[in-house]
Structure 1
Amino acid sequence: MQTVQVERPMELGTQTQTELLNNLLVQVERLWDIALGWVSSPAAWSQFALLVVAYLAALYAARRLRGPLSRLLTPPVEQMDPLSRTRRFVLIFVPLLLPLLAYVFTGIGESVTRSLFGSGAVIAFGKRVFLFLAARILVREILDDPLMKLLGRYVLIPVAALYALGLLEPAMAKLDQTVVPLGNLSFSLLFALRFLVVGGAIFWLGRWSNDQSVNFIKQQREMRPAMRELTAKAVEIGIFGIAFLLVMNIMGISLTSLAVLGGVIGVGLGFGLQKIASNFISGVILLLEGQATVGDYVELDGGEAGTIIKMTARATILETFDGRWIVVPNEDFITTRVVNFSDQGSANRYEAPFSVSYDTDINRVPAIIEAVVATHPGVLAKPFPPDCELRGFGDSGVDFAVEFWVEGIDDGKNKFMSDVLFLIWNALKENGIEIPYPHRVVELSGSIETRQA
């Protein structure tokens, strides 16, 4: 019994290898017979001649058309309208001009040979070769998306090669017969291959459509930034939802069979993914309310502070003054206190404290300081002009503070406080007003004896 169990897999493996080898030899022998028939046939030689003529004509036409087509499809750099983006998209397919023209001219030659000789196998083979060359150029020179390039290299080019050799139908039949069991489910290799190709193409098209839609939405300046972000997210969800439904429909998968899977995902969201769901809903609320959006400088109750540079479905990304990024869950913006310093460009008030000597005529100080601070290009006259106020009488001098409004915040790019303090210093020096500093008086009690050596 043990000997039979050990040797049976070996026998099956050997039998499978023998069948594959025999099939390969049969196909090679068939191709060899076809090649010999072509070599000895006058009609085949005429078709070879037509193939050469079609290729040379395509080469000449491609060289004459490439320049004018490139100039026609290349818009000015500054133009970003939909028509210009479409022209740029079509421009990337110009390298396909030569093989496609050769395919068209060869098709014309095939119709001629079939009408004269009643056959066109050679020239039909040439058409398939030109189609294979087009697929090769598409993958190597045009596709830049990593997923599409991977599918093209390992799926499209092999399929085009099999099609050119006339082996595509046998290969597809073999793949369709090879069934892969997966638990209670089973599917053929042909189904898996079709699913990868169709799904990859549809989702690539969905991503391209989403990029174009998002760019168009972000150019609508009359919309609030938060509304633009929300609309872009809604369009993204809609496009990829439609792409998913298309893939399921094309592959013949019943959507009702996904109901159980949807229920499992719902249970998972309820138990294990509460935080993710909460952050997603919080992000939608933030985009709807618009109380914090991209470009605002905010400070959270936990001490995180920075400029909002990106808002995703799960988190908001803040950039600090020193260039670091802080990823803050959206839920924190809803459940904690948030201070918005900029509110998308609103004015902010700052105050710069300073002191003058007790010997100063303090009635002159407010007018001098208000006038010099108003000369700063970043200081606003509205909602209020600079206002210098007396704050108290300190230990070393009289304490003042000037309040001023600016557009934005005092950060690494804007140095409002530093600039205003420089202006105050120079104005006080020019008007002979002393800026005090602490003095200490030391009193000694008792006599000091001088000891002589």
Structure 2
Amino acid sequence: MKFDLSEYPPIVQQIADYGVQGYELAMGWLLSPAAWSQFGILVGAYLLAVLITRRMRPPLQKLIDPGDKQSIFTSARLFVLQFLPLVLPLLAYLLTGIGEQIVRSIFDSGAVIAFGKRVFMFLAVRIFVRDILKDPFLTLLGRFILIPIAALYMLGMLDFVILQLTETVVGAGNIQFSLISVVRGVIAGSLLFWLGQWSNSQTSSLIQKQEIRPSLRQLLIKVVEFTIFGAAFLILMNVMGINLGALAVLGGAIGVGLGFGLQKIASNFISGVILLVEGQATVGDYVELDGGEKGQIVKMTARAAILETFDGRWIVVPNEDFITTRVVNYSDSGSANRYEAEFSVSYDTDINLIPAIIEAAVCKHPEVLNLPYPPDCELRGFGDSGIDFAVEFWVNGIDDGPNKYTSDVLFLVWNALRDNNIEIPYPHRVVEIKGAFPAVVSQ
């Protein structure tokens, strides 16, 4: 078949040339006894694979499926179980390979059966992406990267596409690179990014379960995170063919930038490392800074700590402020906090009875601690209207937000005084009139 396409663009001529080659190849297959025998072997291999799969899959699934039994191999068996849909295409691929050896020994040709093997491999890849991959990101990569690559391999065009991408060089200024480097970088970067995220989450979960100091736990998590993504970056640079020695200039520029324009960022980063090492303030602590900022630390990043106030606001505090200013930590290392509730009683009261009554009442509160000290009722003074007392108590927590310790204790004090008929005074004023009352003039 010959067409005069000289007036058309080169790409149209090339596509037409591929079409003619495909047509001639198809006609050669249709008219060749060797091709027909290979078609027959392909069909027979597929039907045999279907028959074997139907017989083998139920007992194989029963053997692998752990059911309700729990053991150390349960997770591994469930992982293997999800690959059962691949049995049919892979078995067909294996049987076709056996038939290919027979055909090549007889006809010295196996183009058709080789194409059939690639079709079965494509079907296996498609099943793998559609039925086995569960992670959304991996599914996206499989759909738009793995399946197209398998399709090119099935059509026998993968080597040609790789060659074209290798020979196509693009650049910006003095930097030049081939398109195959970009493709490798995208694929490898995507996989490394997902693997880094997955391994980081698994390692963080493992570290969180360890019985170690919270600040040290956060430091280990950060070290692992930087190590994983640093290694992923170096591997990605190597995959893309970028000379790591060329990064020395970039590293020097970054060092100069840190020395001049990024002093605060560097200071905050180092301060964050010091905080994690020393453990003076960590996630979960309630702190108050010299500047008036106070709240619970909900997150510590490389640059700043995030405080959450009890009214729902988030305050971003640079790590440097925790090092250079005074910080009050109300819950460092889980230590208890002391509060006091003030009250007064009437001057008619036997004050010797008050401490025992109040201390017994406050001890009933489920959050009040006996250690380091039990509730302690103290006489504070003699006021204008009554005798002033205060009860001191210790709790694990902050008396704000969801905790209303002082309010609860005052309720207990009120009820205890009322039950013992002890009067809580209110202000009294004595008015003294000197001299006689003025005369009242009647009209």
Relative to the length of structure 2, the TM-score reads 0.87
Gaps of 5+ in 1: 1-13
Cα distance in 1 for partners of 2:188, 2:381 equals 77
Partner residue of 2:13?
Answer: 22
Q: Which range is displaced more, 30-39 or 277-286?
A: 30-39
- Residue 194 of structure 1: SS of its match in structure 2? helix
Look up the SS of the partner of 2:241 in the other structure.
coil
Q: Which residue of 2 aligns with 1:362?
A: 351
1:288 and 1:92 map into 2 onto residues whose CA distance is 44
**Pair 1:257 & 2:246 matched:** yes
Mapping for residues 193-342 of structure 1, pairs under 5 Å:
193-221=183-211, 223-342=212-331
Contact in 2 for aligned 1:301/1:336 (Cα 8 Å): yes
Is the 1:306–1:319 Cα contact (8 Å) retained in structure 2?
yes
Q: CA 1:374–1:69 in structure 2 vs 1: closer, same or farther (change >3 Å)?
A: same
Q: CA deviation at 1:90?
A: 5.6
Distance change >3 Å, CA 393–CA 107, structure 1 → 2: farther
Q: Which residue of 2 aligns with 1:43?
A: 37
2:371 equivalent to 1:377: no
Taking the aligned partners of 1:311 and 1:362, their CA distance within structure 2 comes to: 51
Deviation at 1:65, TM superposition (A): 6.5
Contact 2:181 2:241 in 1 (8 A): no
Q: 1:180 aligns with which of 165, 170, 179?
A: 170
% identity of equivalent residues? 61
Q: In terms of mean alpha carbon deviation, does 348-357 or 188-197 score higher? A: 188-197
Runs of at least 5 residues in structure 2 that lack an aligned partner in the other structure: none
Once the two structures are superposed, what CA deviation does each residue of 1:219-277 show, in whole Å capped at 9, x if it has no partner? 211x2111111112112211222222222233332211111111112122222222222
Shift of residue 160 of structure 1?
Answer: 1.6
CA drift at 1:208: 2.0
Q: Give the Å deviation of 1:91.
A: 6.0
Indicate how the Cα distance of structure 1 residues 74 and 182 shifts in structure 2: closer, same or farther if over 3 A, else same. Answer: farther
Once residues 62 and 313 of structure 1 are traced to their aligned partners in structure 2, the CA distance between those partners, rounded to angstroms, is 55
Matched, 1:121 2:111: yes
Q: Structure 2 residue aligned with 1:422, among 411, 416, 427?
A: 411
SS at match of 2:11: helix
Relative to structure 1, the CA distance from residue 60 to residue 302 in structure 2 (aligned partners, 3 Å threshold; closer, same or farther) is farther
User: Distance in 1 between the 2:56 and 2:313 partners?
Assistant: 52
Question: Equivalent of 2:181, from 191, 200, 206?
Answer: 191
Deviation at 1:354, TM superposition (A): 0.6
State the alpha-carbon separation in 2 of the partners of residues 133 and 450 from structure 1.
118
Q: Output the TM-score relative to the length of structure 1.
A: 0.85
Q: How does 1:2-21 map to 2 (within 5 A)?
A: 18-21=9-12
Residue 125 of structure 2 aligns to which amino acid in structure 1? A
Which of 423, 431, 439 is the equivalent residue of 2:428? 439
Kindly indicate whether the alpha-carbon contact (under 8 Å) linking 2:282 and 2:297 is maintained by their aligned counterparts in 1: yes
After TM superposition, give the deviation of residue 28 of structure 1 in Å: 2.0
Q: What's the C-alpha RMSD, in Å, of the aligned pairs?
A: 3.1
Deviation sequence 1:259-309 (CA, Å, 0-9, x none):
111111212222222222211111100010011112211112222222222
Report how far residue 38 of structure 1 moved. 2.8
Could you say if the C-alpha distance between residues 435 and 116 of structure 1 is closer, same or farther in structure 2, counting changes exceeding 3 Å? farther
Answer yes or no: is 1:71 the counterpart of 2:65: yes
Q: 1:157 aligned to 138, 147, 153, which one? A: 147
How many residues were matched structurally? Answer: 434
Note if contact 2:42-2:96 (Cα within 8 Å) is conserved in structure 1. no
